[in-house]
């Protein structure tokens, strides 16, 4: 028996179930491509210490769309997803502990949110919602502007999220002439146990060399 995946020409957002891997201190998800369903680590930073990339692949994946106020039972196929690959024989150990790859979320053209947002003309946004513990099951990785639906809840959770504006660092330490692929936040003040921490906020401003501002690198 053959099951056809749903055909949705314009999803409003896309989602993947995400789970914390306490043993590896990573977040993982299951990504279904033309090969069997595989577990991959989620990475917010493009320049990781695991692999340096050796090839480029063109594949298609299946992913869950959110459409209006419902989550379709069937996934949709997304064609022409680019992925990097590396010869595993060049790795002395498997740093992913049995996982089959890395799903990138950095500010790069090959990152999954960038590719999916381009394909479906979605807002270039993503949200990673994690459970408070491994025992509490799965969270979600949402790609697009919403609505973000987490059954059995019927409310759009994108309206409940707190948002922090990101700052673009126009100096890329790894590729001259391009903006940084990292995520930076503009810190103006800090509180510790509800007490204001006195410091010179100008020290955190990004200078002409790209130094300054806290950045997020898992």
pLDDT at residue 7 in the model: 45
CA distances from 72 to 2, 150, 168 (A): 18, 12, 35
Residue 21 lies in a domain: yes
The answer to whether residue 88 is domain-embedded is yes
- The answer as to whether 5 is a domain residue is no
d(CA 79, CA 11): 15
74 within a domain of the structure (yes/no):
yes
Same domain, 137 and 197: no
Same-domain check for residues 59 and 126: yes
pTM over 0.75: no
> Residues 38-69: pLDDT tens digits?
555 565 444 555 445 456 666 777 787 776 55
Nearest residue to 169 via CA among 129, 206, 127, 125: 206
**Cα 98 from Cα 106, distance rounded (Å):** 23
Same domain flag for 118 and 39: yes
Question: In terms of residue numbers, what domain contains 194?
Answer: 164-218
pLDDT 10s digits, 60-103: 777 877 765 555 556 777 878 877 766 665 554 555 566 667 77
């Amino acid at each position: 028996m053959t099951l056809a995946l749903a055909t949705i020409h314009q999803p409003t957002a896309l989602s993947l179930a995400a789970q914390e891997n306490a043993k590896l201190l990573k977040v993982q998800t299951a990504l279904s491509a033309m090969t069997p369903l595989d577990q991959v680590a989620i990475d917010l930073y493009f320049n990781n210490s695991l692999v340096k990339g050796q090839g480029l692949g063109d594949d298609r994946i299946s992913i869950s769309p959110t459409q209006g106020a419902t989550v379709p039972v069937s996934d949709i196929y997304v064609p022409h997803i680019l992925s990097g690959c590396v010869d595993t024989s060049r790795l002395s150990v498997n740093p992913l502990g049995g996982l089959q790859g890395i799903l990138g979320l950095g500010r790069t053209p090959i990152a999954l949110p960038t590719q999916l947002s381009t394909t479906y003309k979605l807002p270039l946004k993503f949200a990673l919602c994690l459970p408070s513990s491994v025992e509490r099951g799965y969270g979600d990785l949402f790609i697009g502007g919403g609505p973000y639906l987490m059954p059995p809840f019927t409310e759009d959770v994108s309206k409940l999220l707190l948002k922090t504006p990101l700052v673009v660092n126009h100096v890329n330490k790894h590729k001259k002439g391009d903006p940084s692929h990292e995520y930076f936040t503009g810190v103006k003040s800090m509180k510790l146990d509800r007490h204001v921490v006195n410091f010179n906020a100008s020290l955190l401003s990004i200078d002409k060399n790209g130094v300054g501002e806290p950045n997020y690198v898992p």
